[in-house]
Amino acid sequence: MPRWLSWRRPRGWGHINGFVLGVATVLFVAIVMFESAAPANVVAAYGFVLPILLVAIVRSRWLMILTVALCIAATYSGLLRPHKPGRFVAAVINRSVVAGVLVGVAYFAITREERKAREEEARADLLRANATLAEVKDALNRSERLAALGLLASSVAHEVGTPLHSIAWQVQSLAEDPHVTADMRKTIDVIDTELNRVVRIIKDKLSLTRQPKRAYAPLRLDELTQSVVTLMKPSFIGKAVLLKADLGGEASPVWGDLEQLRQVLVNLLTNALAATKAGDEVVVVMGRRAATLTELEERRRAGQALAETMITLTVRDTGCGMPEETVAKAFEPFFTTKAVGDGTGLGLFLSREIVASHGGSLSIDSAVGKGTMIVIAFPTYLHPIADGIAGA
């Protein structure tokens, strides 16, 4: 069967087919009635060419065969009517000529429609190929930019290393000052911790060209989240944005890399802060849900323990929100709606990669003017965690 017989017509083509077949049927009936009224006039039988041409538009071979058969049968039916003596043979010849013309017209009409169908399909294939080429080109550009990021990280590490060491020495000197109060010492400890984290992040970026060994260990996601909320709270207070955390009273054990998960939470809260204004609020909620069949199957294929419970962390803000087209591109590397210099477009991309490497998932739900909700889900760690192992 030719390929054009299964060709997908544009939307609404079914109505056009019905109209065309209706017109063809009316013409067929009219010609048959005219033939019945004037059986000796074989010229009217040539009118069957019109319904044949109309049926060809529908591009159905079996319908065309049926139409040609009916038209030929109607053409020869005129022989059943009375004829003048000696005119029967001439009538057979004339109507056979008409039948031959009808078959020829049907063949050329089918051939023409088949050629048109091949041309349309070739154009559609070309459009699909162009779209695929554009996607591959975009993926190649992203790969090149990620490779450039690795080179950039190497150069930045050399440039930033010296001032970081100078800052660390100054912080250490402040910590040894006998006049430092208890509150000041807490602030100095936070600065020292974050400086060490910056150093570790730089080392991780320098390892982009090789597979670094992850420091996976059991940890409590609720305590890790609380430490990040405490760290970020001054920034929210400075912008007059309310930051709340509902982490529940039950421990939330997961298996993961402490620094990587801290990076994810900081990215999410930083994005939430950027999307809100004074008077808005950001809420962090910890919860649990049953693992889906898809999640269980993925862990089974990976040879991992089948955790039937997932720990969820929801970051919800009442900020500006995002349109659907922005949400669709949110996880693309280097995509950002922030002004030049305010963002790299790598935060959500890296966050989802980190969450996925921990066997979890990250999803976004956003609406313009209503805010954004990001939900992370991690498989529950199946073994008890000793007190003191936390995300501090």
Q: How many Cβ atoms sit within 10 Å of the Cβ of residue 93?
A: 11
Place of tokens 């004037």: 38
Tell me which long-range contacts 91-97 makes (C-beta under 8 A, separation of at least 24): 91/40, 91/42, 94/42, 95/42, 95/45
Q: In this structure, what token pair is assigned to residue 269?
A: 């809260």
What confidence tens digit (pLDDT) does each residue in 305-318 have?
A: 777 888 999 999 99
Q: What average pLDDT does this structure show over 21-31?
A: 83
* Weakest-pLDDT range from 19-28, 82-91, 269-278, 359-368: 82-91
Reference 344, options 355, 354, 353, 333; nearest CA is 333
Q: What is the mean pLDDT of the chain?
A: 78
Residues 362 and 226 in one domain: yes
Place of tokens 């996880």: 331
Residues 354 and 237 in one domain: yes
Report whether pLDDT(177) > 90. no
Report whether pLDDT(121) > 90. no
Report whether pLDDT(298) > 70. yes
Terminal Cα-to-Cα distance of the chain (whole angstroms): 69
Residue 126 lies in a domain: yes
Residues 14 and 122 in one domain: yes
Residues 76 and 224 in one domain: no
The secondary structure of the chain, three-state, reads CCHHHHCCCCCCHHHHHHHHHHHHHHHHHHHHHHHHHCCCCHHHHHHHHHHHHHHHHHCCHHHHHHHHHHHHHHHHHHHHCCCCCCCHHHHHHHHHHHHHHHHHHHHHHHHHHHHHHHHHHHHHHHHHHHHHHHHHHHHHHHHHHHHHHHHHHHHHHHHHHHHHHHHHHHHHHHHHCCCCCHHHHHHHHHHHHHHHHHHHHHHHHHCCCCCCCCCEEEEEHHHHHHHHHHHHHHHHHHCCCEEEEECCCCCCEEEEEHHHHHHHHHHHHHHHHHHCCCCCEEEEEEEEEECCHHHHHHHHHCCCCCCCEEEEEEEEECCCCCCHHHHHHCCCCCCCCCCCCCCCCCHHHHHHHHHHHCCCEEEEEEECCCEEEEEEEEECCCCCCCCCCCCC
Report whether pLDDT(6) > 60. no
How far apart CA 312 and CA 246 sit, in angstroms, is 12
Q: In this structure, what token pair is assigned to residue 150?
A: 């690795």
Note whether 154 and 206 are within 8 A (CB).
yes
Residues 255 and 128 in one domain: no
Reference 246, options 289, 283, 288, 273; nearest CA is 283
Residue at a domain's end among 132, 152, 180: 132
Residues 222 and 361 in one domain: yes
Residues 223 and 357 in one domain: yes
Q: What average pLDDT does this structure show over 20-33?
A: 83
How far apart CA 309 and CA 287 sit, in angstroms, is 10
Residue at a domain's end among 116, 132, 148: 132
Residue 105 lies in a domain: yes
Note whether 378 and 357 are within 8 A (CB).
no
Residues 108 and 244 in one domain: no
pLDDT band at 281 (very low <50, low <70, confident <90, very high): very high
Residue 290 lies in a domain: yes
CATH number at residue 371: 3.30.565.10
What is the predicted pLDDT for the residue at 37?
72
Reference 310, options 231, 252, 229; nearest CA is 252
Residue 203 lies in a domain: no
The count of structural domains within the chain is 2
Residue 42 lies in a domain: yes
Residues 223 and 364 in one domain: yes
Task: Find the Cα–Cα–Cα–Cα dihedral 88, 99, 66, 45, rounded to 10°.
Answer: -70
Domain limits for position 311: 218-379
Amino acid occupying residue 181? T
pLDDT band at 22 (very low <50, low <70, confident <90, very high): confident
Residues 112 and 226 in one domain: no
Residues 230 and 372 in one domain: yes
Residue 162 lies in a domain: no
What confidence tens digit (pLDDT) does each residue in 34-70 have?
A: 777 766 667 777 888 888 888 888 777 888 888 888 8
Residue at a domain's end among 100, 116, 132: 132
How far apart CA 151 and CA 204 sit, in angstroms, is 13
pTM above 0.85, yes or no: no
Residues 253 and 126 in one domain: no
Residue 187 lies in a domain: no
